[in-house]
Structure 1
Amino acid sequence: MKVSHLNALRAFEAVMRTGSFRFAGEELGVTTAAVGQQIRGLEAYLGRTLFRRGPTGAKPTDEALRVKDRLTGGFSILDDVLMELRQVRTANQVSVTLPESFAENWFTRRVSEFHRQNPAVDLRLNASNRRIDLATDGFDFAIRYSPPPDSGLDVVDLFGDCVVPVCTPEFSERNGLALDLKSLAGVPLVHLDNRTPDPKWATWQDWFATFGMEPGTDKSGLRFSRISSGLQAALSGQGLVLCGITEAYDSLEAGRLILPFGPARHVRTAYRYRLLSISGRVMSSQQRRFCDWTIEQAARFRDAVGDMLDLKNT
């Protein structure tokens, strides 16, 4: 076997496991087109078709499905060997990958407490929205905002999210925002593009429809691709932003932002924040401490959000 075909086999395995060329590309850190090119090259080398292309996407052939489990198992063995050969990590190292916005607006504000309790831990954080393979990339944990993940991972459910409109107290007063307001005509809005694939993540249009509000200027205003930029725009008084309670909570709790329409006008999401680790892997004492600390922080946060939004379970 040519070594050059390992990347193609990796792409082949990822597509079958994730069910999508796009998801496979996100996991491998390459474009969808690159995954397709690797698959076509592998098909040319093998002299057979591995996927049937159609309007609804690509479906694996029966021959491809027959080797799926063995191929996934083979890469799992290679991942285990690679991890065993990694001698550079120290006994007290804990490595975590987590979403950028979650890291900036929730995790970073709380992690100092973990360091105070565990000063010897070498905690290494990778803030990235790229779908990372825990075994291949050598991370101990992943915190993801996602649907239930594939098998092979131990999962701890942390908390869900809600979409809420927030702004500064000054902006609310200046624009006459109130609980009984029926229209946002003339109110500057902050839009967040490409926020998440969560099917229940509310856009402004969804939020207007849910609560019987007139859209007003929903197509105008500032547009950002990153939640942190949108939050900063709201914090500087530039507009009303629709964002996750997880990311806005600390600013709400500190009074820098408010819920101008009250706690009831929130929309629950489908995805949840989860702590993931590889099934069957024995944790070090430091890794166990991080896991326990994260679970404790999540429990506190669930209670706090429940109080803020008058919820029993978030």
Structure 2
Amino acid sequence: MMEKSNASSEDAFILLGFSKWPHLEVVLFVVILIFYLLTLTGNLFIIVLSRLDSHLHTPMYFFLSNLSALDLCYTTSSVPQLLVNLWGPEKTISYTGCMLQLYFVLALGTTECILLVVMSYDRYVAVCKPLHYPVLMNPRFSHLLAAASWVSGFTDSALHSFLTFWVPLCGHRRLHHFFCEVPALLQISCADTRVNKMILMVTSSIFVLIPLILIFTSYGAIAQAVVRMQSTTGLQKAFGTCGAHLMVVCLFFLPAMCIYLQPPTENSQDRGKFIALFYTVVTPSLNPLIYTLRNKDVRGAVRRLMGRE
């Protein structure tokens, strides 16, 4: 995108989004706004509660706070722009805004893939090696794992963003999506994008399939340890925390696999929009509910906080 992008860097992209269904736009605006407010409220609640209550100063809630921060940033990188486009006749985003949105959406999504692996390892150590847990998951190592997740995600995104915005675009700048995404931008390119698509497929496999394999390997070992448990209380606690994490994993990874690990076709464009809408809007709002609804630690922390007040 060297000469063309430099020459017209101030031009805006048109995000077609859901303009094919104008009768749905008002309904989508209201529904998405509600889910966005739920996402902000629920994830901020987890972050603040984890900071205020000393009983939650554990690796599990440290990683959960990181996940909540990720979800907050992830939805905020795309949803406000979507709400603006749904509300008014303008469906545009500036070149700089598109470039930043692409970078942050991809970086935060990749970081979440790795962080979910880290969280599954934390649960594996807690259930399978409980006596060694304080040593293995010490604060320094926990912070190192979290930092590695963030650095890996933002580094991978830098590669894709650089390669995507160097590809020359056709005359129009109409993206068949509601936010700037790599596959949507590659579709309006005039150049041969097979190398870009191959790199996207390889890195998607690395950051989606391999994490998924590692997560299910961890939970395979956890399942074996749970079956051998004699304590009913320990069994219920293991199922509670691990079941919540597995549900979050499925809600995040399955839609991502449908988007990034299948060849794009004309028929898949509209389906991909609604799948992307699910994992960018719905999933981040459900994560706080999944982790806190049946969590005795969180309920206890809320009672202590209310009692203190």
> Is TM more than 0.5 here?
no
Which structure carries more strand by proportion?
A: 1
Superposition TM-score, scaled by structure 2 size: 0.22
Higher relative contact order (CA 8 A, sep 6+): 2
Greater C-alpha radius of gyration = 1
